[in-house]
Every structure is written in C-alpha cells, then in structure tokens.
Amino acid sequence: MFKKFFLIFLINIFFAFKVYANIEIKARTAILQDFLSGEILYEKEPDRSIYPASMTKIMTSIIAFDLIKSGDLKLEEKFIISEKAWRLSTSGYSSMFVMVGDEVSVENLLKGIIVASGNDACIALAEGIAGTEEEFAIMMTSKAKEIGMQNTNFANSSGINDPDNYSTVRDIMIMSNYLIKNHPEYYKWFSELEFTWDRTGGDPITQGNRNPLLYKNMGADGIKTGYLAVERYSLASSMERNGRRLVAVGSGFETKKSRSRQSSKLLIYGLTNFDLVQISKKDEPFNSVDVWLGKNDTVKVYTKDDIYKTIKKGQKKKIKVKIVYDGPIEAPIKKDQSLAKLKIIYDDEEIGEYELLAFNDVKKVNIFSRLMKSLNYLIWGDV
C-alpha cells in the first residue's frame, strides 16, 4: 500500500576501503589496525605462525582481569610462591625476583608481569588461579578460541621456549583488542614506566617497562615486548592520540633497535596517512523515519554500536549513506524496535549494513484521529 521511502544524504569525506599500505616494514610478519573502525591498514603475512614469547603474558593478564571482573578473584588476594616460580627468578629470565614461600598479592604479581615482564610472577599467578601452570594454559587457550584467535595455542603462562606455544600477529592483535576494550582500567598498567617490588628479606627492586615506545612521547600506551632466540624480537604496541587508537603487532625484528624503529614507523604511518570518521554514535539519534497513525509523525532512530570508517588522506571519495525502510511505519512503535536499515555504499558497492532502532515509543492515535487521517489520505494522498 505504501511506497518505499529512501532518505539519502552524502557525506563528503575521504574514504579507503580495504586499504593496503605502500610501505615496507622490516619484520617477518606484521599487522596494523585502526582500533575503532577495525580496518586493517597494513599487513605482512599476518597469519604466519610465530612463537609469541612474552606477548603471551597479555593473555595471562586477561585471564586474571576477567576473574577480577566477575568477582572470582581480588587484587588484594595473596598467592604463595612455589619453588617452580622461584626458579625462574634465578635462571637468567625476566623476573620479578620472588622468593619461595613469599605471599604476594595478585596486584603485585600482575604489575610484575605487565611492567617487569616477570616469568616467575606468571607461574605464581597461574598456580594461584588454576592450581598448576598446565591447567592455566588450558584456560588461556580456551579464552583465545572464545575471542576469535583461530591459530593460537598456549602451553605456558610466560611465553618461554615451547614449540606448542604459538600464535600469529593477527591473533595477538585480536587479543590486544580484547584487553583494551574489556579492561580499560587495568590496561593503564601497561603504560606504567616502572614497578617497585618491595620484596621480602631484601631491598626494594625497581624495574623499568621494557616497551621502548613508551619513552618516545608519541602517544604509545602499551602493550608488550617479546624475545626468543628462534623468533627474534617482537612487539604488540598501541598508541592513542586525539581519541583515535592504532594497534600494531610485529614479530621477527632482527634487533631491539629495529623493533623500536619499525614499530614506531608502522604506528606513525597509520596516524599520518589515514583519518578516522564517525558515521554514527551508538545510542544517540541518527535520523528520523516517518510514522503512520502515531501521536508523532516521525520517530528518531539510532544504531546500537558506534560506526566508524577509516579515511585515506588525499583521496576524495563519496560515501552514500541510505536509510532504507518500508514506510511510513504504522504505530504503535516500541523503543528499540528494528525499523530500518542503514546502508553505506562506496563506488556503487554496499560495504556495510546496520540495523536502525526506534529511539523511543510512539503510541497510536485514538480511533477518531485514525479515521480523520485515513480520510485525509484517501482524499489528498497525504499521510
């Protein structure tokens, strides 16, 4: 009965869809993502298998953060240090320098892992949570699969040499995204420049964060370095500037200096060659659609998620944004009812479709008003 209505408007912005970079990063494998849009801005063999080394500790931290969030673990809870954990503080590995029999809080263990990259702290936390490190590694792998890490297996909590502890830079990026999105209050710890452990039976030990990008004044605020002789140097990194975040992961850097320079190059490339544009802000009115037989003639609509697109600087493109629906939509309308589709089109190709939901209720008019509106439509064709 009713014709199909289209609300069409143009956004004059720069846009690049599935952008591939024209730079070269000196690493065996690397990836760069615009955090909010999810666009991949650079990739180099992103699904190549790697040994993640200490980047493994991101998942070790995530398991603890999830348990804290659910109320099953507390920061002030203390775990007793086993001989297995202590041995990793005496064998040349990165350490927090715990002692056998120490009772160390979860908060201190986590900061020992995140800032000091302590392998001993990893085992202490794993044993305290799961009983054994082996059981904890099963939890880690299960979580990895849950969040979409398809090519990852964790065999230990620290990332020390084990052929069964493997991942990819794409999976490490997914893991980093999960950490930042779900635990922003604890993610701040990854930017702390030093951690002081007031150890038992000795002077306090202060260690600096191993992430070189934190010292460059470029907006970097995480995440984790890694090194194994077989893998060479690796780094999961992130920077935020003016509300925009980029996440990069690289592995197979030949030297520490190369890791720092190439990771910086990758992040700065994303920052200076692309812009981020917000199309829609979640839970806020986006536009309106027409209503039939309602106490209001229109109803505002919104998207339940933020919608972002990454824009390549210097390339003017036009995006057509359509609101598509069969309407006007007959009242009554319930808040959050799906009413229309938001379609984003680039070069005559649809690149995104999103539900548009009713921002509020719209009640139906009384029978007299309905009759008058119907007569008006029959006579004048006016809704």
Q: Tell me, yes or no, if 91 is annotated catalytic.
A: no
Q: Does the annotation mark 251 as catalytic?
A: no
Marked catalytic residue, from 117, 176, 251, 280: 117
Q: Examine the residue annotation and report whether 82 is marked as an active-site residue of this protein.
A: no
Q: Which tokens sit at 292?
A: 């039939």
Q: 37, 44, 57, 264: which one is catalytic?
A: 57
Residue from 54, 157, 158, 280 carrying the catalytic annotation: 54
Residues labelled catalytic: 54, 57, 117
